[in-house]
Every structure is written in structure tokens, then in C-alpha cells.
Amino acid sequence: MIELGVNIDHVATVRQARRTYEPDPVIAAALAEQGGADGITFHLREDRRHIQDRDVEVLIQTVTVKTNMEIACADEVVGIACRLKPDWALLVPESRQEVTTEGGLNVTGDDGRIARAVARLKDQGILTSLFIDPDPAQVAASAALGVDAVELHTGPYALAKRDAIQHELQRLIDSGKVASDAGIRLHAGHGLNYNNVRPVARIPDMIELNIGHAIVSRAVMVGMRDAVAEMRRILDVCCG
Ligand SMILES: CC(=O)[C@@H](O)[C@H](O)COP(=O)(O)O
Ligand SMILES: NCC(=O)COP(=O)(O)O
């Protein structure tokens, strides 16, 4: 059965629009759990544009399923993860100017920053994953760092039109095989929604999908519990 990680960042985006107290991502996480989430993902960005330090502290105390903290390879946020000890840490690239995550980590070109962040997290017993483009070389370089998983960036697949869709899906399939052969968990995320998720969920050895913006968007209309339950049903029907 595919594990569903629900990213609640954009519940916090709505709250931060007024710099106020609601909607609370902590409450959203509890409702997501009731809807069938297997994990809760939250991205403590260096610019704190949505998830705040308080959110992370309370989420790690209250979430009863897996906690998956997304962070850049930056000393400050890696230090916070090491102190708070989420179940998982997903290392992602970040830039101030981006609207959302644009690409995957450049693991093949790592100057040591990624390796040092992975080592610090592993020293604290935190499971580690790297957000990478669907590129066999990036998967192999990630496995060489001793991470527990890779999360393949499904953004190009989600944005692809017509013939490009199959090409991007094949990139994900090919990269997924490299991960499986290397013995690391295969995760995927970014831009997945109720319409495009099934082919990715069916990729051989796919273990976990992290989905946020589409679920939060649906939750605005129908509520978080039902929005998560609907995605859960789709994954259960298509992948058992
Ligand atoms: C890595 C990824 O695609 C998301 O998990 C990330 O959280 C996107 O950043 P925003 O949540 O700030 O859009
Ligand atoms: N790592 C991907 C994630 O957590 C959710 O990305 P999105 O569904 O908000 O694009």
C-alpha cells in the first residue's frame, strides 16, 4: 500500500497572509491523520514564509503518524531538526526568490554541504531523504551518501503536456529502478494532484507520495479530513 504524506505548508500560508493564529497547521495535521494520512510533512523554510518554528515544535509533539520535516542544507535549520528529532528529514534546495521548490538537490555536484547535513541528521537517529530530480546519477550519488530514501521531484511530470507526460513518467520509472536496486526507499512528490497521481503511485517499488498543495486546495472546499480521505481512496483503489 502506498504511504501518503500530507504536506500542510499551505495551511500556514493562509495563516501567514494575515500574520495571525488561524488556520492552524497543527489542527490541519490532526484532521489529515483522521482522513488517513500516513505521515505529516512540513517545510521549515529559512525565510519562514509559511511554517513557523512553533509549528514544528508542536507538530513533533502532537502528530501520531510519521513526521517528515523538510529543510535546506543550512546549519540553522539542520540544527533545529537535530534538536527536535522528526522521524524523517527531507533535504530540499531553497532560494528566496522561488515561488516553490523549483528543482532537486545537486547531489552529484555536492561541495560537502549535503553530506555534512546528512551526517548530522543520521547522528541524531533521524531517517534521511534527499529531494532530487529523476536522474539516475542523482539517485546513485544519493545512495552513496547513505540516505534512507530519495524523493523524486514530480514537478516536471505534473507540468508536462501531451507527449512530454510519458517522457517524464519514464524518467521517474527509470530513476525509481536505480533507487530500488540501491536498496533505498523510493518516495515522490511535488505537484501531484487528484488527476495525475495514479501513474506515479503505480511506479514499481514506489513506497511514499508526499502531496500538499492539491490536498490543501481541496480542503479549502471540502475540509482537510475529507480531502485527505479522497486521496487515500484514490491510492487504495489504484494500488491496493
Ligand atoms: C520539496 C517540495 O516540493 C515541497 O515539499 C516543498 O514544501 C515546496 O515548497 P513550498 O511548500 O514552500 O511550496
Ligand atoms: N515534497 C513534496 C511535498 O511535500 C508536497 O509538494 P506539493 O504537493 O505541495 O507540490
Q: How confident is the model at residue 100 (pLDDT cuts 50, 70, 90)?
A: confident
Supply the pLDDT for residue 171.
98
Supply the pTM of this predicted model.
0.98
Averaged pLDDT for residues 82-103: 93
Q: What's the whole-number average pLDDT of the chain? A: 97
Measured distance CA(146)–CA(205) in Å, rounded: 19
Q: Cβ(172)–Cβ(164) under 8 Å?
A: no
Averaged pLDDT for residues 210-222: 98
- Mapped onto helix, strand or coil, the DSSP state of residue 29 is helix
Which residues does a 6 A CB cutoff place in the pocket of ligand 2?
A: 7, 41, 151, 189-192, 210-214
Atom of ligand 1 minimally distant from the CA of 49? 12
Q: Which of the following is catalytic: 43, 153, 168, 187?
A: 43
Measured distance CA(139)–CA(130) in Å, rounded: 9
| 208 φψ region: left (φ > 0), alpha (ψ -120 to 50), beta (else) | beta
Q: What value, to the nearest 5°, has the Cα angle with vertex 160 and ends 176 and 157?
A: 20
State the ipTM, two decimals. Answer: 0.96
Backbone angles phi, psi at 191, to 5 degrees: 80, 5
Backbone angles phi, psi at 66, to 5 degrees: -65, 140
Q: Delimit the domains of the chain by residue range.
A: 3-180+188-239
* CATH class for the domain made up of 3-180+188-239: alpha beta
Atom of ligand 2 minimally distant from the CA of 9? 9
Long-range contact list for 171-174, CB < 8 A, 24+ apart? 171/134, 171/135, 172/134, 172/200, 172/203, 173/203, 173/204, 174/134, 174/136
> Ligand 1 centre from 43 Cα, in Å?
7
Q: How confident is the model at residue 207 (pLDDT cuts 50, 70, 90)?
A: very high
- Mapped onto helix, strand or coil, the DSSP state of residue 180 is helix
